[in-house]
Amino acid sequence: MLSIYWHFKHIPFSLFVIPPHSHTHSELMLRQFWVVPVVALVAALLCEAGCEYEGIFNFGDSNSDTGGFWSVFPEAPPPNGMTYFKHPVGRASDGRLIIDFVAERIGIPYVSPYLKSIGSDYRHGANFATLASTVRLPQTSLFVSGLSPFALPIQVNQLKHFKAQVENLYSEGSTNLPPPDIFGKSLYTFYIGQNDFTSDLAKNGITEVKKTLPQVISGITDAIKDLHALGGRAFFVLNLAPIGCYPSFLVELPHGDKDIDEYGCLISYNNAVVEYNDMLHDALNQTGHQLSDAKVIYVDSHKALLELFQHPTSHGLKYGTVACCGNGGGRYNFNPQVFCGNAKFIDGQNLTALACDDPENYVSWDGVHTTEAANKIIVDAIFSGDFTDPPFEIQCS
């Protein structure tokens, strides 16, 4: 996720992933040929089956941005998008994101970015997430703070404008807009807060960052209440990831040897994340009681991702705290001066951050974001175990 400044300085990112356990060239070519049409067919069949949710409206940062940021700024370079989509498509991964797999579960097409003016299809919702977004409004320009101007309050305002336009234009025969009643039949997903937590973490330390977290949580619950007033009735809120296991933060955050646990993760930073997630959980429970006609779902994606970092081989992966796409090799394969897909001349050397040949074996794509393989495992866990409160499942007739 990191800030926009960080991306401008080191270079952008994007998407894509190879299905787990594909090894030979012929297998990969066969999967490449079939996987997209098969997914589209499954989605169409699920839509015909009548799932209870007809769309997704997503709010977030680069963990769920499906191209919003790169609709405004230059596209991320290869090798982003090297596996599933086969080219960069504005996602911060080598393939599909969690939001993409949720869309597949519901049986709808992947959600188009609200900021993408050409080629978007909004018949099943819209994605307001942008890379480097925060819950709280940035206090300075993105070129100073490095944070996206599209903070959560702005994203909610965009949804309000979108809803007004749908109500005005749908009756006129617009072909890429949803029916006006979709707002009460959609899943409102949130994956945001990581940039609020990490953007000043190295400079200010854990204690100072903790002071801001109640504001972050109230920003999320306020957004839910605003969207409820607009007709939303199902809210799916992912908690904060174990950032102490991310290669980028292992390299860049100050710490001592005693702050590393047996799995190679930062103890103090992960403990702070757990405190935040507990506060978020409590606040969402309270909000759910206040909005008695709505589902307010706390999603413990942290639990699923932490398990992957700690025990990757138990889930068909090989590498936890090392980036697939990076520079420098070693324990983390992460160089903050040369980000995934970038090349720079530093100290008399040409350095390039290249991708591994097997992203399906990694948890971390670029040191900051997860691979498609990890994202799929996380979504499978969310919908198959005790990872949501209250319990949540998607019903299809």
Half-sphere exposure of 5 (CA within 13 A, CB side): 12
Please tell me the distance from the alpha carbon of residue 231 to that of residue 237, in angstroms, as a whole number: 17
Q: Supply the angle between the helices 301-310 and 372-382 in degrees, to the nearest 10.
A: 130
Please tell me the distance from the alpha carbon of residue 110 to that of residue 112, in angstroms, as a whole number: 6
- Judged by phi (left if over 0) then psi (alpha if -120 to 50, else beta), residue 318 lies in alpha
Residues with catalytic function? 62, 366, 369
Please tell me the distance from the alpha carbon of residue 80 to that of residue 123, in angstroms, as a whole number: 27
Token output for 356 = 């591994």
Check: CB of residue 360 under 8 Å from CB of residue 18: yes
Token output for 224 = 């839910």
Please tell me the distance from the alpha carbon of residue 342 to that of residue 263, in angstroms, as a whole number: 29
CA 128, 247, 371, 29 dihedral sign is: positive
- Judged by phi (left if over 0) then psi (alpha if -120 to 50, else beta), residue 330 lies in left
Please tell me the distance from the alpha carbon of residue 294 to that of residue 226, in angstroms, as a whole number: 13
Give the C-alpha distances (Å, rounded to integers) separating 220 from 25, 26, 38, 283: 45, 46, 36, 9
